[in-house]
Amino acid sequence: MTNPYDLNPAVAAARAIMISQSRHRNTKEKPLTIREAAKRYTASKSAIGRHLKSMKLFGKPAFSDNSVGRPRNLDEAEERAVTAYIMWLERAGFPCNQLLIEEAANTLRASRTPPEGPVGNGWYRRFLADNPQLQKKKLVRAFDRERAGFEAGDINDLQEFYANLGVVVEERDIEASQMFNADECGIRIGAIRERLERIFYNAWMRKCSWIYDTAVNGV
């Protein structure tokens, strides 16, 4: 039979905490904290705390679907999938924001049998709190800040942005099928024939700053 400690990083982290706490009674060694365990095992703090409490009270991890309290929006595997998706976007050069993350979570929930509805309004904040490694790498926080700054502008800023984008598209003969809309601010990606060019938008100056040709300069 497969050992659940080997499959679930949150359970493994909870077990490591219990072992360190037991060792602390006989030695002066500082016990492992939930924050340290979350970083070491790449698991969410809330999941570790839930399993740790269950293991102390009932002697087993909290794997039951009938656990007390509000059900989680995503299970452990789904949450790891969303985290991997964010990391993949970061490596690919695409910005990641609240909209993309919530869409990924909602897609996973919709693929369940039976399908389930979208995540709640507070899920995004809790997800970031449970995965501090995403905020440390500034994968999410920077783009959310840029988006908020852009949305605070008026209609003239938006018209100017698309006017500048239209000039670039016309001058470089970019077709619709060669464009990928990342967001209203941040980075615009355009696959131009056999080349990949990136249009960088300066959110502070409200204008297109420069075009980076990966065929010449590299990715």
Contact 5, 48 (CB under 8 A): no
- The span from the CA of 126 to the CA of 144, in Å, is 15
For 173-198, how does the pLDDT look when each residue is reduced to its tens digit (9 = 90+)?
777 666 655 444 444 444 444 444 44
In this structure, which amino acid lies at residue 148? A
Residue type, 66: N
Tell me the whole-structure pTM to 2 decimals.
0.40
- Quote the pLDDT of residue 36: 92
CA Rg value for the chain = 22
| pLDDT digits 0-9 by tens, 32-64 | 999 999 899 888 888 888 888 888 887 777 765
C-alpha to C-alpha distances, 118 to 110, 113, 122, 127, nearest whole angstrom: 8, 14, 12, 14
SS3 147: helix
